[in-house]
Amino acid sequence: MEKKPAERKPIEALLDFAGIRIDGDRPFDIQVRNPEFYPRVLAGGSLALGESYMDGWWDCQALDQFFERVMAARLDKKVSRNTSLLWAALKARWKSRATPSRAFEIGEHHYDLGNDLFRLMLDRRMNYSCGWWSNAEDLDAAQEAKLDLTCRKLMLKPGMRVLDIGCGWGGFILYAAKHFDVEATGVTVSREQVEHIRQSAGDLPVRIELMDYRDIDGTFDRVISIGMFEHVCVENYPVFMDVVHRCLADEGLFLLHTIGSTESVRDVDPWISKYIFPNSMLPSVAQIAAAAEKRLFLEDWHCFGPHYDRTLMAWYDNFRQSWETLRRRYDERFFRMWSYYLLSCAGSFRARRLQLWQILFSKYGLRGGCPRVR
């Protein structure tokens, strides 16, 4: 009978809290291919879990279901509360060997991976943020519904000047300019995104700038930021809100669309930070509110985090189905890394450990309040 590695027992005990078995036959069970997986994960935590998956040391038929169970069981909190698990992790660390402008780093590291990847993975407008699935059957419809919902919340009118901070591939500014006759300016730190928007804008009144948000100048009737605030980091939240206040007309509105954390933290998962989004963190309700206080007036706070689960699964399906095309540029390790990223996030939203908020602010208070459009 084959002897099991000593480090397997604490891993089994931890996964048992989530009802997950090692080498089980259910979709959310894991299959360990390399016995060094156990000491590696005990020593390195979530970073080692992700890296060992990228290296092919373990597999799982349904990673999204695995992470849904892991996050719902709050396994990340249990190690620090369980003396035997903590002791096993410390022993593994003792046995392991140690290994030895930031604003634009996220653009170069992530968003400049290649427009081909995102064009195949995202919807036809290349929206890299949560869709609105209430009455939608597919990704294109969900993203168009999100854009329409957002424009109606902002009460856009023809001729308004609109600023999009962190505009991505221009999904919002192109849609708003075409369907609501506004003049739209987008700001991004990604050269690939700038090139895409310039090719897509045609005769629309759209301007795109490659710059850090702190350098924005001018006055706008509406300001929006979709999926960019996650890269700001908490020490810069007041600076960000100062920029919005400075750029917003007195009767203006600001809509913040951001992933959120259920608790106030100052960092992000180490695997996500290293391989997907460097220099990023997820804001909490308290952190956003503290930064907005004395700068902006809260009008509406809308939570639709469960919609991100379905959005991420749609992105994963597109990515997987396009792999035969993408593999000409990306290797198998990238396929495992990107699958791990999309499916782990889907599971986290499904378990409600991650949130998605659209928050509407005015500069001095909207007389009569904002219209209810959802």
Averaged over successive runs of 10 residues, the pLDDT of the chain (374 residues) comes to 76 95 97 96 92 98 98 80 43 38 47 78 97 97 98 98 97 98 96 93 96 95 97 94 98 97 88 89 97 97 97 98 95 96 97 97 90 79
In terms of DSSP H, where are the helices of 159-264?
171-180, 191-200, 237-247
Q: What is the pTM of this model?
A: 0.90
Two structure tokens written together for 133: 């699935």
Q: What is the pLDDT of residue 79?
A: 59
Domains of the chain: 8-95 (no CATH), 103-362 (3.40.50.150)
- For residues 304 and 356, is the Cβ–Cβ distance under 8 A? yes
Q: Which of 233, 303, 345, 370 is catalytic?
A: 345
User: Would residue 345 show up in a list of annotated catalytic residues for this protein?
Assistant: yes
- Which residues have a Cβ under 8 Å from the Cβ of 40 and sit 6 or more positions away? 48, 52, 57, 96
Distance CA 250, CA 227 (A): 25
- For residues 175 and 151, is the Cβ–Cβ distance under 8 A? yes
Q: What is the pLDDT of residue 84?
A: 44
Q: What is the DSSP letter of 107?
A: I
Q: What is the pLDDT of residue 87?
A: 38
- Which residues have a Cβ under 8 Å from the Cβ of 51 and sit 6 or more positions away? 44, 271
**What is the separation of C-alpha 162 from the centre of its chain, rounded to a whole number of angstroms?**
24
The crossing angle, in degrees rounded to 10, of helices 83-95 and 37-54 is 80
